[in-house]
Amino acid sequence: MIDSYQQRAQARVDAALEPLFIAPHDELQQLYAAMRYSVMNGGKRVRPLLVYAACEALDGAAAQADAAACAVELIHAYSLVHDDLPAMDDDDLRRGQPTTHKAFDEASAILAGDALQSLAFEVLSASRGDPLDAATRLRMLGTLSRAAGPAGMVGGQAIDLAAVGRKLDQRALEQMHRHKTGALIEASVQLGALASGKADAASLDALQDYARAIGLAFQVQDDILDVESDTATLGKRQGADIARDKPTYPALLGMAAAKAYAQDLCAQALAALQPFGPRAEPLRELARYIVARRS
């Protein structure tokens, strides 16, 4: 089921993203080319999938979630472009292709990331074709801003850079990853729920519990794959975390315990969805996919 759902959702968000990268005049061709390259060169689109699945779990239509799905993917892509820069993780490979600063140049990559971040909020705030009222859009903007900024993803990256070569306990490691990886995943689920127009407090709380569990499970599985997978499968350099002496779950807990923890987090996510009916099945399948994926 998840394969067909993923294909449909990927096609939908890609069709909505593609028109965003048409340069308005010749002087901006390089910038828009770098932006498009950073977003449209592959990727699993997990965060847009979560947006659509959360919206549909509350009986919303996929069309209501297009802006939110685009916005979270634009933020995610910007974060990857900047994370790959020489001053950050200094990576040459992303999604099986040269990273943006290698395919273009460092200045173009910085500007492309800046532009993608701003574009995410422009897309989410636009009223054209959006059935949501302004108050709901404002709430969604606040949700994405917090997840992307110093209280979320950017803060997590700062903690991550400061943790290189240090030994963190499990509480500190989870704190880092709830910011760096989990915050945007949690925001994706919340944005999808809000986009449905039918999100009450109880639903949002249950979906937040689900999202917190899968956000952490995603990072645990990433750490496992950094050890067990290979560069061709991952589409990025295998063993990069070990090479940089970064703290990881397999290093802290041991591989068997890390795998068991990922499964436990998946079970927590599934339990949080108990109040929802069959419409939440894509969310359930996504939780299982996150801990079973090989890339």
Q: What is the pLDDT of residues 165-184, one digit of tens each?
A: 888 889 999 999 999 999 99
Q: Which domain holds residue 121?
A: 2-292
Above 80 in pLDDT, residue 292?
A: yes
Above 80 in pLDDT, residue 129?
A: no
At 246 the pLDDT is 79
CA distance 2 to 184: 21
The CATH number of residue 44's host domain is 1.10.600.10
- Angle of CA points 191, 41, 158, to nearest 5°: 60
Report yes or no: 152 and 146 within 8 Å, Cβ to Cβ: yes
pTM reported for the whole predicted model: 0.94
Above 80 in pLDDT, residue 245?
A: no
Helix (H) or strand (E) holding 238: none
For 28-54, what is the mean pLDDT?
A: 96
SS3 category, 94:
strand
CA distance 174 to 132: 34
To the nearest whole number, what is the mean pLDDT of the chain?
A: 92
First vs last C-alpha separation in the chain = 19
User: What total number of domains does the chain contain?
Assistant: 1
